[in-house]
Chain A
Amino acid sequence: NAGVTQTPKFQVLKTGQSMTLQCAQDMNHEYMSWYRQDPGMGLRLIHYSVGAGITDQGEVPNGYNVSRSTTEDFPLRLLSAAPSQTSVYFCASSYDRATEAFFGQGTRLTVV
């Protein structure tokens, strides 16, 4: 099993550009979430989903959109990139909220 797969691993964007970070899992997990990791801070929740067709906002949702059309995929869209969105992004999934979380390898995004 591949687990949780994130693409790309690295990305450089210019301010104002848009892009989509991909996240896919092959474990039939209902729960999926996106976090960002910044120096000196713990991981912070951006958006999460408890199943296909259901998404909700986390702590820091501004500037990001998500959708969950299938159980497997949970893409994160940056609508108009800003330097404040320079960060490392992690996607995670779990069977439900009471079980172990599996993380992707991360996407290091730089906005210039």
Chain B
Amino acid sequence: KNEVEQSPQNLTAQEGEFITINCSYSVGISALHWLQQHPGGGIVSLFMLSSGKKKHGRLIATINIQEKHSSLHITASHPRDSAVYICAVRSGGAQKLVFGQGTRLTINP
């Protein structure tokens, strides 16, 4: 079992829909990252959080430390949100990030 599991692996939705991507992890962590990767493109950091909730524009990230679970929400989704969204965690004293396999999101106009 991977230390970081994302669901769903693939998600297709219509423009305007509310999107939720989930991330579950099995280790104690010091921080969780949400990243975005456009096709053929680089990786961009969206959020880094260790508790509670963060919001940036139409994106919201939440984390529940007790349940070892995080969600990434996109409100009023748009075709430009189409990308792979990656969850990564850094455990307690570790130097490295452990990555989920990513969720491929496609928003159709």
Residue numbers of A with Cβ under 8 A of B are 31, 33, 35, 40-45, 48, 50, 56, 58-59, 90, 92, 97-106
Contact = CB atoms under 8 A, between A and B. Distances in A.
Nearest to B2: A42
Interface of B: 2, 4, 30-31, 33, 35, 41-45, 48, 86, 88, 90, 94-102
Nearest to A4: B42
A22 to B, nearest CB: 15
Given A42-B4, A45-B97, A50-B95, A98 B42 contact: no
Q: Is the interface of B mostly helix, strand, loop or mixed?
A: strand
Contacts of B100: 42
A50 to B, nearest CB: 7
A41 B45 contact: no
Contact of A56 (B42, B95, B97, B99): B95
Given A42-B86, A43-B86, A101 B42 contact: no
Contacts of B102: 42
B95 A90 contact: no
A58 B33 contact: no
Nearest to B43: A103
